[in-house]
Structure 1
Amino acid sequence: MSEDAFDDLIAALDPAMAIVTTVSGGERAGCLIGFHAQCSISPPRYVVWLSKANHTFRVGVHARSFAVHFLGQDDEHLAQLFGTTSGDDGDKFGECAWEEADGGVPLLSDCPNRFVAERVALLDEGSDHVCLVLHPTAASARTPFRPLRLSQVEHLQPGHESEERPKPAEERSA
């Protein structure tokens, strides 16, 4: 397979950007994501993929509740904060306005287009991301809004590269 051809196809999709936030054991986490989609109508389900290199992954695998915030074109400052700063190095939530939802999940005050959800499944098939299947429990929408797209933020340098993810057990023992 031509990886270049696959990359070209995917790049043409120009996905909307979102921020996932969560909390577990009193530790807050959040990151910018481009891998997310509705995956069921009834019951409603949404999937997000978290990079194994991210602090949010390490908190999220233990979390039950999440919030997914959909960024508008005026939200590049939040994309930069949650996409370029690692939770390993500091508190992103100290740099923005937020409030707690039920269960302590951080809700970003500047992102009114969002939903809160409970995790119903986690899929780790061995790649650099894990898939979380979420069941929305509350939502708010201020429409219309124009989504912030990957093409508008691809100049940002991530807080972690995907190559920084922990190695699977079989690779560590080799």
Structure 2
Amino acid sequence: MGVDEFDPFVRGLDYPMFVVTSAHGGVRAGCLVGFVTQASIDPPRLLVCLSVQNHTYRVAREASVLAVHVLASDQHHLAELFGGQTGDEVDKLEQCRWRPGPDGVPLLQDCTPRCVGRVLARHPLGDHVGFLIEPVVVEGDTSADVLTLQQCHDLSPGHPA
């Protein structure tokens, strides 16, 4: 089955959008991500999927931790920053407020809730790689309205997925 046959199934789905950040070897990165899901209840685990085309993926494949930031419905500007530009050409973190977290991972100061997780495993999943992470720091809660995929259809990606 190809993309044309599969698209009608996923086209109308709506799910939260996230900014995932990473750091390794003095290089930091972040990107807009739609593929994040809880993968286990006990022990707690998240699965974060990054496009292999993405600068953040290239940093994350060597990183020990990832930070997963949930975007609020009024943070479209962060979705545009982290989804509409590529880290191959611009340091997106120079354009927002952040502070270093565990192992230097950038934590967006205006973006909670967030979860920092230790990378336990990396799994190829087609054009994305799944990072299984174990939460080590969780801040905030998701009681506010979150930004969703349907609210981001106006964005032009910084590069093909």
Q: TM-score, normalised by structure 1?
A: 0.88
For residues 47 and 153 of structure 2, the distance between their equivalents in structure 1, rounded to whole angstroms, comes to 22
Task: Please give the alpha-carbon distance, in whole angstroms, between the structure 2 residues aligned to 1:13 and 1:121.
Answer: 27
Structure 2 counterpart of 1:133, which letter? L
TM-aligned CA deviation for residue 14 of structure 1:
0.7
**Could you tell me the TM-score, scaled by structure 2's length?**
0.95
For 1:83-162, list aligned pairs within 5 A.
83-125=83-125, 127-162=126-161
For residues 89 and 67 of structure 1, what CA distance do their matches in structure 2 show? 22
> How far does the alpha carbon of each residue in 1:52-99 deviate from its partner, in whole angstroms, 9 at most, with x for none?
111001111111111000001011000000001111101101100001
Distance 1:64 1:3 in 2: 33
- Please, which runs of 5 or more residues in structure 2 have no aligned partner? none
Structure 1 runs, 4 residues or longer, greater than 2 Å off? 1-6
- The percent of aligned pairs where both chains have the same amino acid is 45
> Once superposed, what is the RMSD of the aligned Cα atoms?
1.3
Query: What residue number does 2:18 align with?
Result: 18
Aligned counterparts of 1:142 and 1:26: Cα–Cα separation in 2: 30
Question: Larger Rg: 1 or 2?
Answer: 1
The residue number in structure 1 matching 2:35 is: 35
Alpha-carbon shift at residue 5 of structure 1 (Å): 5.2
Aligned residues: 161
CA spacing shift, 1:131–1:142, aligned 2, 3 Å: closer
